[in-house]
Every structure is written in structure tokens, then in C-alpha cells.
Structure 1
Amino acid sequence: MAELLQNPSTMAKARDELAQVIDSKPEIEESDVGELKYLQAIVKETFRLHPPAPLLLPRQAETTSEIGGYEVPKGARVLVNVWAIGRDSKVWPDPEKFLPERFLEGEIDFRGRCFELAPFGSGRRMCPGMPLAVRMVHLMLACLLHRFEGRLPTECGEERGWDRLKFGTILS
């Protein structure tokens, strides 16, 4: 929500998509999330910039290996910094900007198959709560966008006035 509040045009696109998909239904259902492609892109972009665990669980090298020109000796503990991967300018153009549109084309997924976006890890040590987290994040974000109209106060300007954050009334 913080990223959407700082990017009102992105929030407006997400709300428009919700209005088209949800139409006149009073509640968002889990089955609706599959049709919300822009909302899915927002969640991917959020996981890229703000991974749930910036450093994945430590791994141990089974053999001496060379990775990226560095020798990793057998038995060394290796930490994967997914926070840094998500901000790598060699992988992501404009890595510090919140741009969900980068995920509308292509097949980048955060379920452990694409190493440029692995906020929950991959392989046998992937976070076991990832399926539940993914379902709930999409559904909760959709419900918040559907029911509330949030915006930053106009007097905030460039300074971040999170203490003065205002939400509009429930849009029932």
C-alpha cells in the first residue's frame, strides 16, 4: 500500500482493473485474482523491492565451486541477498523505481523458477508458507483497493507524511 500511495496513477490503474473484473459483485472472490493481471504485477514488483526476508536461509556448499568468478570453498556458508538481486541494474532497468508494468510482459514468476525474483527462495528450502502468503497478499490488496480510497495528504509534497496518512470512507 505504501508504494501505491506514493504512485497514485498506479493505484488508479489497479482500481480501474478491479472495477472491470469485479463489476457489480459486492465481494471479491479468490477466483477473481487470476483475472487481475495488473494487480499481480503490483505484487511481483512489491516482492522485488521489498522481499519478505532480504537474506534467504543460509546454504552450505557441498563442493568447491566457482560462482561469478569467485571460488566458494566446500563447507562455506552462502547467503543469498534477494534484496540486492531485486535492485541489480544489470537485471532490472530503473531498479529503484516502482514499475509494475515490467511484469505485464514475460513469464517472470516468484515461485522459485526465476532467480531474478525469488523472494521466498527456491528448491527444497523454499518458504513452506509461500502458497498461503501469495493467495492472501493478492486477495487482501484487492479487497483494500476495492473498499477503500487511500491517498497521501496534499501538504506532504516531497516529504513523507506517513503520520498524516488519510483513508477515505468505506466504498460500500
Structure 2
Amino acid sequence: MYSSTRNQTLLKQVTMLLHFLSFYFLPLFLFVLFLFLCFSLITTTPTDHKNLPPPSPRKLPIVGNLHQLGLFPHCSLRSLAQKYGPLMQLHFGSVPVLVVSSAVAAREIMKTHDLTISSRPKTSIATRLIYNSKDVAFSPYGEYWRQVRSICVLHLLSNRRVQSFRNVREEETALMIEQIKHYSSSSSSSLVNLTDMFVTLTNNIVCRVALGRMYGGTKGGRRFKEILGMLGELVGAFNVGDYIPWLAWMNRINDLDAKVESVFKEMDEFLEGVVEEHVDRRQREGSDSVHIGSESKYYFVDLLLQIQQENTAARTIHRDTIKALILVK
């Protein structure tokens, strides 16, 4: 009897508590739920229709979609584009990447969003090797980029300036043809490495136009050619620190940092020697012998030194800018 009375009392207390909670707290709970739904509707509606990111395959923590590139990234990207469309988003580590796989989409992006994508992605290797990206190819879009582009277009690569070095191109091309004839007519002729010949042709023309003479026949010139090859490889090398910053220490283990520093040091010493050679010659002959407004045949180094001498508030270049512009030419 006592147990039955106790159970009835407990049941009555629970019923009263539930009635109290439903009377006071249920409306409050429903009101909070209503506000949450309204807020979610307001904030998600524009995203659903206007700001949806491009489709993207599932990514893994830390590495993102790097594991999906494989040994042949161009083939992997084509397969992913067939599945996710001409516009898709990948994550290379912590870096979001927009992959465009159709001519129509690429044309629209280049025409409509050209300023947004006008700068190259900043990489630590290119930043170090190209003098903190002071050249026209790697510098970010802005006032500095407009200045160096103006120098290249108006002074270094104008139509008349290019035509003034026509004889250099003709002479070097004729020499290459003669070498091919010599190899082909030789009794002990072997296969002709045209790739190496075309690389040599390009280097000789660029050296004569930019630096004033060829360096291929000297020991230092041959080493500089090797350094240029190493520089091209390093600029295109995969640097894990650019995509997964907290793994940048691996570059000290695989000697990537040491190789970058070694190549930069040798390259900088060579370019510094070239610039100093032209500075000394200008001092002997008089700096007024070069006028940037004329279309006579003057070497790129001399033109850049003259522009540096005439530095104005609207256009200022430094020694590193000169070496960076020489390097990318």
C-alpha cells in the first residue's frame, strides 16, 4: 500500500514537471528553432544560387587532392574533368586550385576575370631564384609589374629594337646550318643532336643581344649554361612547403634548399660580373654614349643601366631588377 501511494506521488510530480516545462520552455524552444531556421535560410539562399564553388572530388586531410594526380598529372586531370566538368576545384595540400578544361571556360575567364588571375602563384623557389620575383614574368600584377613591362615593351623589345638585332639572328642561324652541313658531310658522321643545337642557337642569340657577347666558348659560359638548365628544372620542381607549409623542413633533408641556394649564388655571381663589366665600360666611354630613346643597337644591359641612371619617381629600377630582367630574357 505504501509503495503504491509512493508511485502515484512520483507520477504526479513527473506529470506536473512535464506540464511546467511544456508550458514555459516549449514556446521558447520553438522560437529559438524558428530563428535558427530563418537565419539558415537567409544565409544559404544566395550561396545556393550564386556562390556555389565548382564541383570538387573528395579530398584527404593534409594532402587534399595531391594523391589523385599520379605520375601523369595531365591524364589524371583529364579523367577528373570528364567526371566533374570543365570547371572543378582541387586542393593541392592547403592551396585551392581552379582547373579549367575547356576553351570556352578559359576564354571567359581570361576576358572577364583577367585581373583576378593575372598574377602567377607565388612559389618560394621562384621567389629566391628570380630575385624576389623582380622580373616581368613572376612579379605580381601591380605598379611594379607595369613599370618593368613598360621597360620591356618600349625599350627592350620594341619592333625597331628587335629589327636592329636581325643580323645577330641571321649570323647565328647561318653558323648552325654550317655545323649541320659539316656533320652530315663528314665520313664519320653520327646522329646530330638538333635539340642541343637549337638550345645553343637560342643561348648565343640571347647572350649577344642581352649581354653583348657570347659566353658559350668559355669555361664560365659553359657553366652558366648548365646553371640555366638547373634553374629551369628548379623553377618547375615540386616544393612540398608551398602546399603543406608545416612540411617545409623536408626540403632541408632532400637538399632542395641547398641546391636552390647553390644555383642562385653561382648565377648571381655570373650576372653581377656581367653588369660590372658593362658599368666599367660605360665609365671609360662615358655614360652619355647610350640613349634609351634612340633605336640604335645597344645591348640590354646598357639600356637597363641607362634607365637606372635616369631613375625618376615614376620609374625606378635597382641592380636586382636589372639582373632579373636579363635572366628571363
Q: TM-score, normalised by structure 1?
A: 0.23
Q: TM-score, normalised by structure 2?
A: 0.15
Higher relative contact order (CA 8 A, sep 6+): 1
Larger helix proportion of the pair? 2
